[in-house]
Structure formats: structure tokens, C-alpha cells
Amino acid sequence: MTSKNKKIIDKKPIEDLSILLDELNLTEISYQEGDFAISVSRAAKGVVSNSSSTNAVNSQDQGNNEDDYSSDPRAIKSPMVGTVYLQPEPGANTFVKEGDQVKNGQTLLIIEAMKTMNPIESTLQGKVSKILVENEQAVEFGQPLMLID
């Protein structure tokens, strides 16, 4: 193959997503803009090095807890990868707390993704029975965030 036919891959977006993957402690992250799409992931749970065995065990424990609610029809799930904020700004009251009644379309929390604040609205009506995430926690696509009875 001659150098004229060789494709050149821009490594910068891959490096940027890899850094974000580590900063948010995620296993996979994707980005798309127009026709450009990229996805970066790391080895699945269970691959443990000596220096990070505590972190790997903790993430496995969290994963098992989330799996308990992944198919629960009461679960409000994350529509994106990002960071959860349970309140509109630092020092403010949370959008909702356990025991609150919520309506369809009511803002439950915010997920920051790519420096954009995305309000996450309830798709259910009822009582918040359990909040499964903490403020400023990194979340993945499809991760259960809270349960509405």
C-alpha cells in the first residue's frame, strides 16, 4: 500500500475522550457531530491491577447495585453520559427528594455533558421512592437515576 492510499487518523479527539473517560471514571464514552462519530471504551469490570484494585472492586459493587434497577419500569434512566447535579446551582435546594410527588415532565435533576446542562424530566408520575445517584456523580447512558412509584 502506498502512502497516498494510507488514511491519517486525527488522534486528538481520541485522546480528549480518553482523558474524559478517566476523569469521569467511565467505561465507555461516545461523541457525534454531523458525520463524525467516535467511541472510546476501556476493558470491562474484573480486570484489576494491583495499584487500583480498591477502585475496581468499588465500581463492581456500584455496577451490581445499578443492575438491580436496570429493567425496573419505575426507573428514570440517564439519556446520556455526564455528571449529575441534583440541584439547580450550588447551595440551592434539590429538585426533588425521596418522598416527593412528581408529575410527568417535571425536572428531576441536571446532567452536564460536554459543558451543556441538560435538565432530565420525569417520564412518570408518582412518588420518588429512591434516588440512586449522588450529586456530582458521573453517570453512563442508561444508568438508573431514581425510582418513581
Query: What is d(CA 12, CA 38) in angstroms, rounded to the nearest whole number?
Result: 11
If one compares 125 and 50, the residue with the highest pLDDT of the two is 125
**What tens digit of pLDDT does each residue of 63-109 get?**
444 457 888 889 999 999 999 999 998 889 999 999 999 999 999 99
Nearest to 83 by CA among 108, 63, 113, 41: 113
pLDDT band (50, 70, 90) for residue 42: low
CB of 34 closer than 8 Å to CB of 22: no
SS3 2: coil
CATH of span 74-148: 2.40.50.100
**What tens digit of pLDDT does each residue of 79-89 get?**
999 999 999 98
Q: In what order do the strands lie in the sheet with 126-131?
A: 75-77, 144-148, 126-131, 101-102
Q: What is the pLDDT at residue 48?
A: 36
pLDDT band (50, 70, 90) for residue 6: low
